[in-house]
Structure 1
Amino acid sequence: MTGRFDERARGLLDAAGWARVERVYLTGDGDSYHATCATEMAFESIGGVVCEPLSAMRFAHYGAEWMRPAAPGRVLVIAISASGGTERVVEALRAARRYGALTVAVTGRPGSPLTRVADRTLLVDLPDTEPSPGIRTYQASLLGLLLIALQLGRAPRPDITRDAARDADALREELVVLADHVDATAKAIKRECRRVADLVADAPVMVMLGSGPSYGTALFAAAKMVEGAGVFAVGQDLEEWGHVERLAYPDDMPVFVIAPPGRSRDKATEVIARAHELGRRVVAVTSRGDTAAAAHAVLPVHGQVREEFSPFLYHLFAGYVACFVAQALGRLPFQTHRS
């Protein structure tokens, strides 16, 4: 989908329009909000803009009024909704327009309410979507947001001397190559995810940990466990877990630590060791070859990836583990077994 979505992203604004953007707000609910947290770093390090992800209600009620765009086009608000019909996300985009921001909808459904409110729309539509906990729609949202970040990075800016267009083309090719790594990782971890499900299925609560882009991945992974298996799970930042959640019972609570190469890798290693000391059932999601000796199980991610793009590879375990836990518990997604 990269070529098709990239062509659409390029057409959202002209070169001058991209260059005017100084600040980006990302907003959505559920998986869409998780995608905003997972791509914040890319907008700042690649796009060259200040970026703030906010859930839709928080943006509409506590964020939009204080954006105060300094000039037309300086503030860009991107709202994400796979269905295009999430009421609070539509409300957030209306608030953004009311306070003078340029708005873009990222959605999988043309002609949806969100597209009718937005100034521009990036359509990230997929064939043959299924009524299951969102995985492909999440991937489409990630891809759409990252391609917008690349367009911002392509724009000429007075404080940047590098060849922005050449760099953006190289980064786009990195995204394309990730498809092979996604495939290899999904195949490699499936059997191990079943073993992990057997290890954790009896737990009443679980926690997923990550920082930077992996914080968004942790939120997404927790959501899959809730939606797919009906098990209460939370996503949390690595450092914050050390301050609060490490004190919670039960002592053998499953702790999934998402640890790609990058700025938080050392902290993730530290948390794996600390969680093991506390008696937690620790699962490390890390690059292939990393031993994570203190973990009870390791889910190996194939392929080298920059931290900004790591959410594409490091979320893959979540759907499998949730599925296998649901099977162990005799449940169906969204509690439909109760129907």
Structure 2
Amino acid sequence: MSGRTYTLKEVERQTAALPADLPALSEAARAGAARVLRRIGPVERAVLLGSGDSLYAAQSSRRFFTDAGIECLAMPATEFLHEFPSPEPPGRTTVVGVSASGGNPAVVAALSRARAAGHPTVAVTGAAASPMADAAETVVVADPGASAPSPGIRTHQASLVSLLHLAHAARAALGGPEDTVAAGPFDTAAVARAQRRTLALVEPAAATVARLLAPAPVVCVVAPTGALGTARYLAAKLSETAGVPAIASCPEEWWHVHRFGHDAAHPVLMLLSPGPGRLAALETAARMTVRRRLIVVAEAGDAEARAAASVLVPVTDGVPRAARPLVDAVVAGPVALALARVLGRLPFARQ
């Protein structure tokens, strides 16, 4: 790595800042998404591009585009650039690049190629003056402000908020009522309160979870299809913050593949939020608990999840579906911090 200094204190500070960041980010994203739709018109098909946290934000938001009847793919920018044929006909597919810094070379190149081919292009970034903003036809800027070096936490939320608002605006452009468009996809103040409650609920459980995960050579994070973007983000924070190899997979993949390489003495971490794939995940959870401990991230009042869990990591109940990724994602910071402290590691130190 570079000579930058990474600390657990900064990870803690950024995690605590998420609810306070949300109102300004949401307002900037709402206004930016509205401008984008005025500029490019209705979105018929979308391809969301990113790397790392930006890709996980794209994956978390994809289903909100598809819910609106918009065909949507979320994929790595490098894959699109080198292997994905230019969508035809030009103008029918909107290409959205996601990079908090606005400097990801693969995303910049992908947007430049798509724009040259005649497709509407959108940059989702925290930096208005950046190569990616210059490469795209139009831009949504949501900047959480300066931070010390850290695994991406505040920046991931900014990307996710922007994409959720963009999906909402795209849906509205297809015929939603004007007052719904203006209000945005969720009540921002209520979601910020839900994030604060979730942080308070997760904190007592995080130390227990860390002690259970610490002996595992690899942490397996399992989530239904609707929450795989969040699961990948959680796995990334465990790797970056605590230096632990972590993989994320859907329940079907875990059951048929990864369980054979995972010692039954080590627990599995599962997200069981409401949404697509939940029933299948519960079925897999019931099979898993016969031989191994299951750490479950789920709503505090979810009786089915609590019954399946050896340890429950509770998140706030009743969050609107459109805001669920924003609330579930705050779990990553406290769990990654607790695991880093148990293992005596600093972010990115193994490199």
Residues 39-75 of structure 1: per-residue CA shift (max 9 Å, x gap): 00011113x3110001111111122x2411x353x21
Residues 131-187 of structure 1: per-residue CA shift (max 9 Å, x gap): 111111111111000111111111145xxxxx4334434553434421110111011
Q: Give 5+ residue unaligned stretches, structure 2.
A: 1-23
Aligned residue number for residue 140 of structure 2: 122
Q: Give 5+ residue unaligned stretches, structure 1.
A: 158-162
Give, in whole Å, the separation in 1 of the partners of 2:186 and 2:280. 30
* Aligned partner of residue 275 in structure 2, secondary structure: coil
Report the CA distance shift for 1:260/1:170 in structure 2 as closer, same or farther (over 3 A).
Answer: farther
Aligned residue number for residue 59 of structure 1: 80
Matched residues, percent identical?
35
Q: Please state if 1:50 is matched with 2:51.
A: no
Give, in whole Å, the separation in 1 of the partners of 2:349 and 2:263. 24
Would you say the 8 A contact 2:226–2:276 is kept in 1?
Answer: no
Would you say the 8 A contact 2:127–2:141 is kept in 1?
Answer: yes
Post-superposition, which runs of at least 4 consecutive aligned residues in structure 1 deviate over 4 A?
none
Aligned residues: 325
Report the CA distance shift for 1:171/1:116 in structure 2 as closer, same or farther (over 3 A).
Answer: closer
Would you say the 8 A contact 2:242–2:347 is kept in 1?
Answer: yes
* Aligned partner of residue 293 in structure 1, secondary structure: helix
Give, in whole Å, the separation in 1 of the partners of 2:298 and 2:349. 31
Per-residue deviation, 1:38: 0.4
Would you say the 8 A contact 1:209–1:256 is kept in 2?
Answer: yes
Aligned residue number for residue 234 of structure 1: 247
Report the CA distance shift for 1:209/1:249 in structure 2 as closer, same or farther (over 3 A).
Answer: closer
Would you say the 8 A contact 1:229–1:333 is kept in 2?
Answer: yes
Would you say the 8 A contact 2:269–2:295 is kept in 1?
Answer: yes
Aligned residue number for residue 335 of structure 1: 349
* Aligned partner of residue 36 in structure 2, secondary structure: coil
- After TM superposition, list the pairs within 5 Å mapping 1:1-339 onto structure 2: 1=24, 2-14=26-38, 17-19=40-42, 21-46=43-68, 48-63=69-84, 65-68=85-88, 70-72=89-91, 74-157=92-175, 163-169=176-182, 171-279=184-292, 281-291=293-303, 292-335=306-349
Residues 307-332 of structure 1: per-residue CA shift (max 9 Å, x gap): 34311111222111111111111110
Per-residue deviation, 1:261: 1.4
Deviates more, 1:175-184 or 1:319-328: 175-184
Per-residue deviation, 1:198: 1.4
Per-residue deviation, 1:286: 0.5
Would you say the 8 A contact 1:257–1:282 is kept in 2?
Answer: yes
* Aligned partner of residue 331 in structure 1, secondary structure: coil
* Alignment-mate amino acid for residue 220 of structure 1: Y
Give, in whole Å, the separation in 1 of the partners of 2:207 and 2:302. 20
Give, in whole Å, the separation in 1 of the partners of 2:255 and 2:73. 24
Would you say the 8 A contact 2:50–2:58 is kept in 1?
Answer: yes
Give, in whole Å, the separation in 1 of the partners of 2:119 and 2:189. 31
Report the CA distance shift for 1:176/1:50 in structure 2 as closer, same or farther (over 3 A).
Answer: farther
Report the CA distance shift for 1:249/1:242 in structure 2 as closer, same or farther (over 3 A).
Answer: closer
Give, in whole Å, the separation in 2 of the partners of 1:277 and 1:102. 51
Would you say the 8 A contact 1:213–1:311 is kept in 2?
Answer: no
Give, in whole Å, the separation in 1 of the partners of 2:134 and 2:90. 24
Would you say the 8 A contact 2:55–2:98 is kept in 1?
Answer: yes
Give, in whole Å, the separation in 2 of the partners of 1:147 and 1:38. 13
Aligned residue number for residue 160 of structure 1: none
* Aligned partner of residue 253 in structure 1, secondary structure: coil
* Alignment-mate amino acid for residue 255 of structure 1: V
Would you say the 8 A contact 1:156–1:164 is kept in 2?
Answer: no
* Alignment-mate amino acid for residue 45 of structure 1: D
Deviates more, 1:175-184 or 1:52-61: 175-184
